[in-house]
Amino acid sequence: MSLYCGIAYRRSPCWRARLLSTYISKTRFMFELKEDDDACKKAQRTGAFYLFHNLVPLLQKAEQQQQPYLAPQYSLLELERLLGKFGQDAHKIEDSVLIGCSEQHEAWFALDLGLGSPSPTSAALQKPEVEAELRGSFTELRKALFQLNVKDASLLSTAQALLRWHDAHQFCSRSGQPTKKNVAGSKRVCPSSQIIYYPQMAPVVITLVSDGTRCLLVRQNAFPKGMYSALAGFCDIDPAELERTGGSCVVQS
């Protein structure tokens, strides 16, 4: 958002107002879908779905050299046909999570076909069969992130984090009973103890170390050829430092 605002400020006030108005309109629409299960179910009927298998997104090879991968979208109807072909009913779609929307209020969802929820009607689908059927491949997001366009990279990152959170929070930490997600996947509720769980956020710091003309960069063996990163890590509370200063944080890389 700050990047968009930065660009907008250099343009006309009219452009800036339109951009902010679009942002507010999308935010309101997303909020409605997160709070209203019926509205979210309705949005699924006209929305688009991104697919994952065990938290790995389905990608297809693209023609463009700059962005060799694209993330295919599927309609609800296409998804129902796919599930039917693999002997599953549409209940699996209840595992999907809301990850964004277009300016025209087309809602975007993500569904993991590999993760099986406790529901007996929601078993995992086999990866090779799905890949062959959809002419794509489930590709590690870290490897493909910079080979996707900005919109898809951002959406798939959000989707992966949210799907992972749901997979790890299937049961209530107090009563041990299964928790139930709302339609949008913005929260999980324990019907036994009425506790509501919300996806957690982890503060992250990324630092560009420079001597004025050069930058210090790092890379992992798993990175694609030519890919480097600035230094980054999660923020955590350091109890000793907290006691000394009354509130601070350290970086764990």
> Which positions lie near Zn ion, rule CB under 5 A?
172, 174-175, 177, 190, 192-193
Give me the least distance between CB of 15 and Zn ion, in Å please.
49
Contact between residue 109 and residue 44 where contact means Cβ atoms under 8 Å apart: yes
Give me the least distance between CB of 112 and Zn ion, in Å please.
24
User: H or E stretch including 142?
Assistant: helix 141-144
Q: Residue 204 forms beta bridges with which residues?
A: 234
Give me the least distance between CB of 119 and Zn ion, in Å please.
18
The SS3 assignment for 100 reads: strand
Give me the least distance between CB of 190 and Zn ion, in Å please.
3
Nearer Cβ to Zn ion (3/168): 168
The SS3 assignment for 53 reads: strand
Nearer Cβ to Zn ion (97/190): 190
Residues 6+ apart with CB under 8 A from 111: 49, 50, 51, 52, 79, 92, 93, 95, 96, 97
Q: Which two tokens stand for residue 27?
A: 């935010």
Nearer Cβ to Zn ion (88/179): 179
- CB atoms under 10 Å from CB of 123, counted, come to 14
Nearer Cβ to Zn ion (92/166): 166
- CB atoms under 10 Å from CB of 180, counted, come to 12
- CB atoms under 10 Å from CB of 188, counted, come to 21
Give me the least distance between CB of 192 and Zn ion, in Å please.
4
Contact between residue 200 and residue 217 where contact means Cβ atoms under 8 Å apart: no
Give me the least distance between CB of 117 and Zn ion, in Å please.
17
Nearer Cβ to Zn ion (80/167): 167
- DSSP-derived letter for residue 11 is S
Q: Which two tokens stand for residue 35?
A: 């709070």
Contact between residue 109 and residue 48 where contact means Cβ atoms under 8 Å apart: yes
Nearer Cβ to Zn ion (46/192): 192
